[in-house]
Amino acid sequence: MQYARISPIMVTLKTGRKALFLKTSDFYYELPKELIAQTPADVRSRSRLLIYDRKNRTVTDGVFTDIVDHLDPGDVLVRNTTRVIPARLYGSRTDTGGRMEFLLLKRLDAHLWEALVKPGRKARRGHSYKVNDELLITVGETTDSGGRVVHLEYDGVFEEILDRAGEMPLPPYITEKLSDKGRYQTVYSREPGSAAAPTAGLHFTNDLLHRIREKGVQIADLLLHVGLGTFRPVSAENIEEHIMHSEYYEVDDKNAALINEARRKGGRIIAVGTTSVRTLESAADESGMIRSQKGWTDIFITPGYRFKAADALITNFHLPESTLLMLVSAFCSREEILNVYRHAVERKYRFFSFGDAMLIL
C-alpha cells in the first residue's frame, strides 16, 4: 500500500448548520474521459480502494479486500438491500409508431408509476405506447420534478412482465453493453424497486462479507429504493436551492436495535454507500439513535451538515457537481475531498458506477 498526506490548508469549518453560499460549480473537478469505468472489475473485491483518514489527512492506496484491516470488532457495517429493476422501457406510439423511452422511478400504486420520458416534449397526456404484447403505457400528468405519471396496463405478475420487457437502466456515461446483468446488483440485493444500483456495495463478495463477520463486525440491513433523488443533476447555482426528489426507505426493528446497541457499546457505524448514509440520517434522532420506521426521504446532505448516525463511509467516486459529491464532502470538507479526488485522478483510479472505491474514516 502507498500513502500520501493531504494538505491541511483551506479546510472548511464544520458546524451543525448547512454551509452557506456554496455554488454548484464549487464541486467541479477535471476528469479524463478514459478514467470513467465502462465495465466492472473482473472480480468485485479486487477493485482498488482509497482510504482517507480525516484525523491525519492521509491517503492510502490499496485494494478493496484491505477493507477488513480497517474494520474493528464491534463495528457495524450498514448496507442497502435494494435490488435494481429493469426499469428502462421502450414503446411505440399506438397511432403513429413514434418511439418513446420510459425510465420507471417510483411506484405509486399497482398500475401507476412516476417516470422520466424521452423525448419529453413529445410525451403528451393520453398518448399510449406499446412496449410488447404484454405491456401498454399511457402518459399522464406532469410531476413537479419534470417527470410524468404513467399508467401501465398488463395482465399477470408485473415483476415477470417487467423482466421480459425492460432493460437494466445503466447510467448514460456507460456506453458498453453489460454482459452480465448481475454485476449491476449487489450480492445481497433482495427487495426490487431501484432505478440505479447502490454502487458502493458492488465491491462486496459473499466471501469478503464472511471474513468481515469473522472479525467480529456485525452487518445491518436497511432499504432505500434509488430513484431520481440520488442522481438528478443540480441545476441551481446556489446548492441550497436544489430540491431533492423523495425516495422510499425502511429500517426495521431488528436492524435498528443492532445499530443502536453497537452505538451504545462504542462501535462505529460504517455506511456502505451514500444511500445508506441518507437512510441512517433520515431515521436517526438527535442523539444518533436509529428509529424503526418506513417512509419517504428527501434529505439533502451538504458541507456543514452534522452527522447524527454515520461515523464512516464506503463510497465510489462521484460525478462533478453532483449531490453525491456534496454528501461525501460533508464528511470532512469540500477542499479535502477535491484534493483526494485529484490524488485519485493522478493515480488513475476508475470512476463512477463500475469504478473503484473510497473509505472515509
360: amino acid identity, one letter: I
Q: How far apart are alpha carbons 157 and 136 in whole angstroms?
A: 14
Whole-Å CA distances, 285 to 62, 168, 240, 270, 338: 35, 36, 23, 17, 30
Give tens-digit pLDDT for 268-292.
Answer: 999 999 999 999 999 999 999 999 9
CA dihedral sign of residues 285, 290, 294, 296: positive
pLDDT score at 4: 60
Tens-place pLDDT, residues 251-265:
999 999 999 999 999
What is the pLDDT, as a whole number, of residue 300?
Answer: 95
Q: What is residue 144's predicted lDDT score, i.e. its pLDDT?
A: 82
Whole-number pLDDT of residue 20: 53
Return phi, psi of residue 239, to 5°: -65, -25
How far is it, in rounded angstroms, from Cα 117 to Cα 101?
Answer: 6
Give the type of residue at 93: R
* Alpha carbon distance 233, 255 (integer Å): 32
User: Per DSSP, which regions of 6-68 are E strands?
Assistant: 48-53, 58-63
> What is the structure's pLDDT at 6?
54
Q: Residue written as cell 492521509? A: 58
In the chain, which stretches have pLDDT less than 70?
Answer: 1-20, 229-231
Burial of 63 (0-12, 13-18, 19+ CB in 10 A): middle
Cell 463510497, located at residue: 315
In this prediction, residue 91 carries a pLDDT of: 98
Give Cβ neighbours of residue 87 (< 8 Å, ≥ 6 apart).
103, 104, 105, 162, 166, 169, 194, 195
- Phi, psi for 222 (deg, rounded to 5): -140, 180
Q: Which of 145, 132, 142, 131 is nearest to 102 (CA)?
A: 131
Domains of the chain, first to last: 2-84+180-360 (3.40.1780.10), 88-165 (2.40.10.240)
**Cβ neighbour number for residue 122 with a 10 Å cutoff:** 14
Which set of grid coordinates corresponds to residue 11?
479546510
- The answer to whether the beta carbons of residues 263 and 288 sit under 8 Å apart is yes
* H-type alpha helices, the chain: 158-165, 206-214, 228-231, 253-264, 274-283, 323-329, 334-346
pTM: 0.90
Closest CA to 78 of 229, 282, 259: 259
**pLDDT recorded at residue 3:** 55
